[in-house]
């Protein structure tokens, strides 16, 4: 199966047991937090709202990715109108360390841009070096560090490079 064969299927309530199992995995919980709280946030958005939520498939379900209006978050205030923010986790531990996350995140970002988003951003915590490294490997560029809504410092990473967007305007 090619790296290009990643698919994104809209999350439904039927996915909640799978999502909870993934959220409870040590490698996911270390970054995302309490599985019950995170699943409650997903449940609030599943029947509508701005957040697009998808199960990532590569022949089988392997992860979760979501996107939302980046400018709805204060730390993304200066991004171009229409920018989307993304967050993800690779749920199936047997797929860790094989380059899947960077490949499907890059494909997803390109799909968002092809759909009209001028830019895709993400905001991994400075305390999450694995996440930062994955997004950089996917082609995101470091733009700034800022406090997020919890007060914790995060990297503002953009795809494509935010400086190229501002300099071409």
* Contact present, 59 and 5 (Cβ < 8 Å): yes
pLDDT value of residue 115: 93
Phi, psi of 9 (to 5 degrees): -105, 130
Is residue 110 included in any domain, yes or no? yes
Range of the domain at 106: 3-120
Give 31-86 pLDDT, tens digit per residue.
999 999 999 999 989 988 789 999 999 999 999 999 999 999 999 999 999 999 99
Helix (H, G, I), strand (E, B) or coil at 63: strand
Structural domain contains residue 130:
no
Q: Is residue 30 part of a domain?
A: yes
Whether residue 136 is contained in a domain is answered as: no
Please write the tens of the pLDDT for every residue from 82-115: 999 999 999 988 888 888 999 999 999 999 999 9
For residue 102, the domain's CATH number is 3.40.630.30
What pLDDT score was predicted for residue 99? 87
- The whole-number pLDDT of residue 167 equals 47
Query: Does residue 146 form part of some domain?
Result: no
Separation between Cα atoms, residue 89 and residue 118, nearest integer Å = 23
3-state helix, strand, coil in the chain (%, to 5): 45, 25, 30
Residue 73 covered by a domain: yes
Task: Specify the number of domains making up the chain.
Answer: 1
The CA R_g of the chain, rounded to the nearest whole Å, is 15
């Amino acid at each position: 199966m090619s790296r290009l064969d990643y698919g994104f299927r809209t999350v439904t309530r039927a996915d909640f047991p799978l999502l909870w199992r993934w959220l409870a995995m040590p490698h996911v919980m270390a970054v995302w937090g309490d599985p019950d709280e995170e699943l409650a946030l997903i449940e609030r958005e599943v029947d509508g709202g701005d957040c697009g939520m998808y199960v990532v498939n590569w022949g089988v379900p392997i992860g979760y990715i979501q996107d939302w209006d980046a400018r709805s978050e204060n730390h993304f205030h200066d991004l171009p109108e229409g920018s989307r923010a993304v967050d993800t986790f690779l749920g199936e531990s047997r797929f860790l360390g094989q380059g899947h996350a960077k490949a499907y995140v890059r494909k997803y970002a390109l799909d968002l841009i092809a759909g009209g988003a001028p830019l895709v951003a993400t905001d991994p915590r400075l305390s999450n070096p694995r996440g930062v490294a994955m997004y950089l490997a996917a082609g995101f560029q470091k733009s700034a560090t800022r406090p997020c809504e919890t007060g914790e410092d995060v990297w503002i990473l953009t795809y494509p490079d935010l400086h190229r967007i501002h300099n071409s305007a």
